[in-house]
Structure 1
Amino acid sequence: MGWFKQLMGLSAPNVETPAPAIGPLGLALGKAIQFDPVMSLLLDGKSSVTIPGSQAIWSLGQVDLGQSSWLSRYYMNDEEYWLQVHTTGDVAGQVESVILFNYRSYVTISSEAELRRLAGPSSLIGLPTYTYEGAEYTREWGTEQGQTELVPLSEQVRSSEESYSIEHRSMLYARDTGLTDRRELLLFSVEEDAEGTISLSTSLGISLYTTDITAL
């Protein structure tokens, strides 16, 4: 167990669960996703999330949340974008939410002191509110009045070339955009890959309707 896992109290990754050939909404490795071009016009002035054109799915991440609840994460050829689909009942079961994320930053962490400063007790991550790019977001996870702990998630990732695991400690924030059922999400994730590399990623997302995307 690496120093990150010792520091954060993480257990070993779950046994890998094979992903179905076809996932929720007909998404799968090797397929492409077409986003409704109207989304860009709809979000103009409401959100800074960028809607891409058609994107090929390069790799698939799967998170078992327990109690028959799953996150499927589709990483695009253009590494600035990834799509998350939350399902219940089965990996390809009832769709509960769809979020398109833009990667905003990715920082490699080289020491415990840097980790504590960027995403630990010395940081603002985990507080009830967080201001990012001039907008205020409200914490989605945790009920503490002060700073709360990051949430552990174990992700199994596979592409056409390889399979590997990533351990996450994450915190999610959200704000209303003024559009019906479309919230903007801010996700921080401290990640450790199979080689022991530690990083902090920041992603900004927008909630989508299932009709906003088409599997090609």
Structure 2
Amino acid sequence: MNPTENSKKSAGYAAAGYVQSGMVVGLGTGSTVKYALEMIAKRIKNEGLDILGIPTSEATAGLAMKLGIPLSTLDEHPVLDMAIDGADEVDPGFNLIKGGGGAHTREKIVATASKRFIVVVDKGKVVGKLGDFGIPIEVLPFGAGLVKRKIEGLGGTVKQRNNTSDNGNMLMDARMEIRNPAELEDLLNSIPGVIENGIFAHRRPEVVIVGDGAGVVVIEREDGK
């Protein structure tokens, strides 16, 4: 296992340790979260851990079912005890860019519905400022042209992905300077046709677990900051 993959595994396994019996847990999407799911499944088998998972993507739902993690829905459990998810970038203010896998709309819904949001990343995802990764955007196909023009009018460039979201919508990636993550999150979402973008500035994680090869570093956000 290469160092980056080992870091992801360490972070994912550490996050699984926060899960307790009786919890309803949001299950994120991505290569780091899969390790959290693996450890949760091991704890279900070995410790009798009793939880329900709310998946943020069809891929996560499939993996969870394969691993034997019981699943439910937001309709049945509108308030979650915690969500565990990955990120493409994390800045010093706990702002995130998510959506490399195209699941950011469901991920943001689940994170917002959760009392506690835990993000797992390898150290390469920790940045001084958001923006190098680009901003994933889920777009209603009917409004794609308008969305592209509006973002270009803001000084950004847009590239359309070949795949669609689990919701059946178009996915784009916008590259532009992110001076104020919260303001840009709101501005992008105000464009007609934008369903959701991958900036997480209004729902930031309470805990970020960083795998660094030698173990993990756990960073907790102070309340109200």
TM-score, length-scaled by structure 2: 0.29
TM-score, length-scaled by structure 1: 0.30
Q: Which of the pair is proportionally richer in strand?
A: 1
Q: Which of the pair is proportionally richer in helix?
A: 2
